[in-house]
Amino acid sequence: MPNQKQKIIIANWKMNPASFIEAENLLKTIKSGIKKSDNLKIVICPPAVYLPKMKPNSNFDLGIQNIFWEDKGAYTGEISAPIAKKLGANYAIIGHSERRIYLNETDEMVNKKIKAALKNNLKPILCIGETLEEKNQDKTSEIISSQLKSALKNISKFQVPSSKFYVAYEPIWAIGTGETPTSNEVMSAALLIRKIIAGLYDRQTADNLSILYGGSVTGKNALDFLDNAGMNGLLVGGASLNGSEFARIVNLI
């Protein structure tokens, strides 16, 4: 069953910290704070320019916060999946709501980015979730469904085995706000995600999928999402910038 498998905790540092020295210190605090657990994978997603200096070890792996969908060419300012791989990333956050909001990233772009990641052996962490307005209009299921289906358009089940593809349910209203959904709401979202995956592919693919929760995760509420909502992992933003708080979350597993 999905709950039994290895948990994954992802740190999304976003556009922080301001210098590599600070990033190094943050990493040191995290490394010294975490106890080893075989049942756990930690993935740090720093600003891309810090990736080559981050030196992953058996305790943690590296991810990039975004990629472009073409492998190379005249795309000023973008980073391709092959470049991300060479920088040291093994995971790629794709479709984060901040990119959808501030950079007008569409479902179609998200789909192209997922394909580029899979083609280049980067494990996508697909972010989906509704706005507060959509939640208040009871549109959560509709949004989850349409974002997930669009993101996986023309992608076969063989391309998204459980070890290579992750879905993060991140309600936009919970990101960086201190507000969180109840464990029941998160569990319903995860059930819906599995149902959609079962419809697109099959039951086994749905059961094996790792689903993460993200949005104002802290050391205080992390267990609620992991144990009570049965999530397979967490995507941690703000709290991952505090090394001891992030270690506290990790050590709950």
Q: Residues in the site for ligand PGA, rule: CB under 6 A? A: 12, 170, 175-176, 214-217, 235-239
Closest to 9 in 3D by CA, of 244, 220, 213, 185: 213
Query: Closest separation between CB of residue 201 and ligand PGA, Å?
Result: 26
Helix pair 183-200, 140-151: axis angle to 10 deg:
40
* Smaller CB separation from ligand PGA, 124 or 214: 214
Catalytic residue (choose from 96, 98, 105, 245): 96
Of the pair 88, 214, the CB lying nearest ligand PGA is at 214
For residues 170-196, one letter each, b for 16 or more C-beta atoms within 10 angstroms of the residue's C-beta and e for the rest, the string is bbbbbbeeeebbebebbbbbbebbbeb
Nearer to ligand PGA, 12 or 66 (CB): 12
- Of 108, 170, 179, 185, catalytic: 170
Residue 98 CB, nearest distance to ligand PGA (Å)?
Answer: 7
Provide the minimum distance between the beta carbon of 9 and ligand PGA in the complex, in angstroms, as a whole number. 12
CA distance 235 to 251: 15
Tokens 């498998």 found at: 5
**Residues 9 and 210: beta-carbon distance below 8 Å:** no
Smallest gap from Cβ 137 to ligand PGA, in A, equals 22
Q: Is 123 helix (H, G, I), strand (E, B) or coil?
A: strand
| The token pair that represents 46 in the structure block | 């720093």
Name the residue nearer to ligand PGA (CB basis): 101 or 191.
101
Of 171 and 206, CB closest to ligand PGA: 171
- Active-site residue, 185 included: no
Q: How far is the CB of 97 from ligand PGA (least distance, A)?
A: 7
Which residues, other chains included, contact 1 with Cβ-Cβ below 8 Å and sequence gap of 6+? 207
By beta carbon distance, the residue nearest ligand PGA is 237
Residue 96 annotated as catalytic: yes
SS3 232: coil
Which residue numbers are catalytic? 96, 170
